[in-house]
Copies of this chain bind each other. A is one copy, B any other.
Amino acid sequence: MYVDGTPKTSIWYDPQKPFSFNIIDQRKLPFSFEIIEISSSEDAFLAIKDMWVRGAPLIGVTAAFGMYLAVAENPDSIQSINERAEYLKKARPTAVNLEYGIKRVLDVLQEENTGSRNKEKALDSALKLREEEISRSEKIGDHGLEILKRLYNKKSAARLNILTHCNAGWLACVDYGTALAPIYKAHEAGIPIHVYVDETRPRNQGARLTAWELEKQGISHSVIPDNTGGLLMQKGMVDAVIVGSDRTSIKGDVINKIGTYLKALAAKDNKVPFYVALPTSTIDINMKDAFAEAVIEQRHDDEVRMIEGWTGSHTENVQIIASESPVLNYGFDITPSTLVTGLITEEGLCEANEPSIRKFLNL
Whether A221 lies near B325 (C-beta < 8 A) is yes
Residues of the B chain whose Cβ atoms lie less than 8 Å from the Cβ of A312: 319
Contacting residues, chain B, for A329 (C-beta < 8 A): 224-225, 228
Contact of B318 with A309 in the complex, beta carbons under 8 Å: yes
Picked from B257, B263, B291, B304, the residue with its CB within 8 Å of the CB of A223 is: B304
Segment 191-216 of A: residues with Cβ below 8 Å from B = 196-197, 199-202, 204, 207-208, 211-212, 214-215
Question: Is B196 a contact of A328 with CB atoms below 8 Å?
Answer: yes
Is A144 engaged at the interface, CB distance under 8 Å to the other chain? Answer: no
Contact between chains at B234 and A258 (CB < 8 Å):
no
Contact B225 A202 (CB under 8 A): yes
**What is the minimal beta-carbon distance from A192 to any residue of chain B, in angstroms?**
16
In Å, the complex CA distance between A52 and B199 comes to: 27
In A153-183, the 8 Å CB interface with B consists of none
| Size category, A interface | 35 or more
Tell me the nearest residue of chain B to A194, going by C-beta. B326
Q: Which residue of B lies closest to A315 (CB)?
A: B318
Residues of B within 8 A of A259 (CB): 225-228, 230
Q: How far is the CA of A312 from the CA of B316 in the complex (A)?
A: 11
Inter-subunit contact B207/A320 (CB<8 Å): yes
CB neighbors of B among A238-263 (8 A): 257-259, 261-263
Closest CB of chain B to A151's CB: distance in Å? 21
Chain B residues with Cβ below 8 Å from A232 are 330
CB of A266 closer than 8 Å to a CB of B: yes
Interface contact B316-A316, CB-CB below 8 Å = yes
Distance from A316 Cβ to chain B, minimum over Cβ atoms (Å): 6
User: Contact between B227 and A265 (Cβ–Cβ < 8 Å)?
Assistant: no
Across the interface, do B326 and A221 meet the contact criterion of CB distance under 8 Å? Answer: yes
Query: Is A189's beta carbon under 8 Å from chain B?
Result: no
Q: Are B321 and A261 in contact (CB under 8 A)?
A: no
Q: How far is the CB of A2 from chain B (nearest CB, A)?
A: 14
Write out the residue numbers on chain B whose beta carbons fall within 8 Å of the beta carbon of A318.
307-311, 315-316, 318
- Please determine whether B231 and A333 come into contact, CB atoms closer than 8 angstroms: yes
Say how far A230's CB is from chain B's closest CB, in angstroms. Answer: 4
Alpha-carbon separation in the docked complex, A225 to B205 (Å): 14
Residues of B within 8 A of A363 (CB): none
Q: Which residues of B contact A315 (CB under 8 A)?
A: 318
Say whether B223 contacts A321, CB under 8 Å.
yes
A326 to B311, alpha carbons, bound, how many Å?
19
Is the Cβ of B230 less than 8 Å from the Cβ of A262?
Answer: yes
A82 on the B face (CB < 8 A): no
Q: B223 to A201, Cβ gap below 8 A?
A: no
Check A333–B265 contact: CB distance below 8 A. no
A87 within 8 A of partner (CB): no
Q: What 4 new A-B contacts, CB under 8 Å, besides A225-B329, A265-B269?
A: A207-B325, A221-B326, A224-B304, A307-B309
For this complex, 30 residue pairs linking A to B, each with C-beta atoms less than 8 Å apart, are A30-B321, A30-B322, A30-B324, A197-B325, A199-B304, A201-B225, A211-B322, A215-B324, A215-B325, A221-B326, A222-B328, A224-B327, A225-B226, A225-B258, A227-B333, A228-B328, A228-B329, A228-B330, A229-B262, A231-B333, A234-B333, A261-B266, A262-B262, A262-B263, A307-B309, A308-B318, A308-B320, A309-B319, A310-B319, A316-B316
